[in-house]
Amino acid sequence: MERPLTGHTRTYGEPLSLRDYEKLGGYQAVHKVLKGMTPLNVIERVKSSGLRGRGGAGFPTGIKWSFMPAGEDAPRPRYLICNADEMEPGTFKDRLLLEGNPHQLIEGMIVSAYALQVDVAYIFLRWEYRLAAKRLERAIAEAYENHYLGKHILGSEYGLELHLHVSAGRYICGEETALLNALEGRRAIPRAKPPHPQVCGLWGRPTIINNTETLCNIPHIINHGVEWYKGLSHTDQGGTKIYGVSGKVKRPGAWELPMGTPMRELLEEHAGGMKDGVAFRGVLPGGASTDFLLEEHLDVRMDYESVQKRGSRMGTGQMIILDDKTCPVGMVLNLERFFARESCGWCTPCREGLPWIAKILHAIELGEGQPEDLEILEQQAGLLGPGNTFCALAPGAVEPLQSALKFYREDFERHIKEKKCPWR
């Protein structure tokens, strides 16, 4: 089984130096595109590979790229930003890529930047990833020294500046328009769309923002081609995916596997199944902003469409497991408190609605819930759903809530009836 993104790295091992990376075929994609592919060729190849954004939304990368205005008259400078602000609860895949092989990301960014004729690129990194910051700084310096960055890359006409921006907390910075405000030194609240960043992004210029894992796929698509890339997958959605499992399982971890690997295989084979003495009750398939799924859904293939058909989303592909010794109300309370705290406060439904939800859940957990609370929660979940808020934070926040109210109804009702949490 091929693991192009992680095959050369050891989890928690030392990262590859530039020389080691080159020996393994690293930076070949930069040579290849600069010598023999037009920017449009590169975009077309990424488009036909079917690569979809690995940050959670799954938007086709090549199509996103094609929205950037091209040609002589297009405004300059043009920007590319790597979103490495990984903060989705339960998600730890980009950390592995950033720490394990920073040059792979840099190469992916150079190739993408060339395709998009970008002048300046940024890696937007959360502060807490200290090791990643250190390794990225070093790798960027090595790349400059070896003429992969700066003016006239490898003697060509093309040049690129790459900067590392280290952030300072707040989940909302990972929302792409909030990220733009953060980079411009403004309060990091999301912007209204349209205009989309591809047209009017950083400092009002055309800007593409891609997730770390997405960009790490690019060199491999260039080197090995579209057919190879599609063949990595179990389904019609190409490539591999870094899946992860956390919670009370025997071997929590993250693994690069063919796109479309079934959830059951992830849980039972790779994560070793549930710890002794606890049983599976449910799963958030791809981070905190996804709907719960149950035992009966475990055979679903983890790809964008298959998970969506079951009423959830693949999101980041990082599964969080609910077990029978953990209170589902408590778990949802934990999630909603997180979202309430991380709401940027810009739009009213999110700012006011999420704390209200968290307060009601807290009351239920304490045994002070009222029967009508469940209706209020359902109503709030609807009011905070898609289309009613400024960005996707609140609609994501209510996904685990609405599915918990459906699947774990009896547990909520027991809390209210028995006036206590049965797990405490």
Partner 1 sequence: MLSEEERQEIEREILRSGVKRGASLEALRIVQKYRGWVSDEIHDTAEILGMTSAELDAVATFYSLIFRRPVGKHVILICDTVSCWVTGYEKILERLTRRLGIGMNETSADGQFTLLPVACLGVCDRAPAMMIDEELYTDLTPEKVDEILGHYQ
Query: Cα(19)–Cα(2) distance, rounded to whole angstroms?
Result: 22
Interface pick for partner 1 out of 121, 221, 322, 361 (rule CB under 8 A)? 322
Residues contacting 186, CB < 8 A, separation 6+: none
Interface pick for partner 1 out of 24, 234, 338, 414 (rule CB under 8 A)? 338
Binding status of residue 401 toward partner 1 by CB under 8 A: no
Binding status of residue 169 toward partner 1 by CB under 8 A: yes
- The two three-digit tokens of residue 15, written as one number: 């990262």
- The two three-digit tokens of residue 362, written as one number: 């807290």
If we measure between CA atoms, which residue out of 406, 386, 396, 413 comes closest to residue 297?
A: 406
Stretch that binds partner 1, among 26-34, 229-237, 336-344, 362-370 (CB under 8 A): 336-344
If we measure between CA atoms, which residue out of 184, 166, 162 comes closest to residue 85?
A: 166
- Compute how many residues bind partner 1; rule: CB under 8 A: 53
Rounded least distance, CB 89 to partner 1, Å: 4
Binding status of residue 86 toward partner 1 by CB under 8 A: yes
Q: By C-beta, is 321 or 384 nearer to partner 1?
A: 321
Rounded least distance, CB 384 to partner 1, Å: 19
Query: Cα(110)–Cα(291) distance, rounded to whole angstroms?
Result: 36
- The two three-digit tokens of residue 74, written as one number: 């297009």
Interface pick for partner 1 out of 3, 31, 170, 362 (rule CB under 8 A)? 170
Binding status of residue 171 toward partner 1 by CB under 8 A: yes
Question: Residue 49 class from Cβ within 10 Å (0-12 exposed, 13-18 middle, 19+ buried)?
Answer: buried
Q: By C-beta, is 19 or 186 nearer to partner 1?
A: 186
Enclosing H/E stretch for 271: none
Q: In which order are the strands placed within the sheet that holds 79-84? A: 161-166, 120-125, 79-84, 207-211
Binding status of residue 326 toward partner 1 by CB under 8 A: yes
Give the footprint of partner 1 on residues 217-276 (CB under 8 A).
Answer: 244-248, 252-254
Query: Cα(115)–Cα(113) distance, rounded to whole angstroms?
Result: 5
| Three-class SS state of 257 | strand
Give the footprint of partner 1 on residues 288-307 (CB under 8 A).
Answer: 288
Rounded least distance, CB 37 to partner 1, Å: 30
Give the footprint of partner 1 on residues 119-138 (CB under 8 A).
Answer: 126-131
For tokens 């547990």, what's the residue? Answer: 411
- The two three-digit tokens of residue 170, written as one number: 């707040």
Contact 285, 307 (CB under 8 A): yes
Binding status of residue 91 toward partner 1 by CB under 8 A: yes
Rounded least distance, CB 7 to partner 1, Å: 19
Binding status of residue 331 toward partner 1 by CB under 8 A: yes
Q: By C-beta, is 44 or 161 nearer to partner 1?
A: 161
Contact positions toward partner 1, by CB under 8 A? 86-92, 94-95, 126-131, 163, 167-171, 182-188, 203, 244-248, 252-254, 284, 288, 318, 320-323, 326, 330-331, 334-335, 338, 341-342, 344
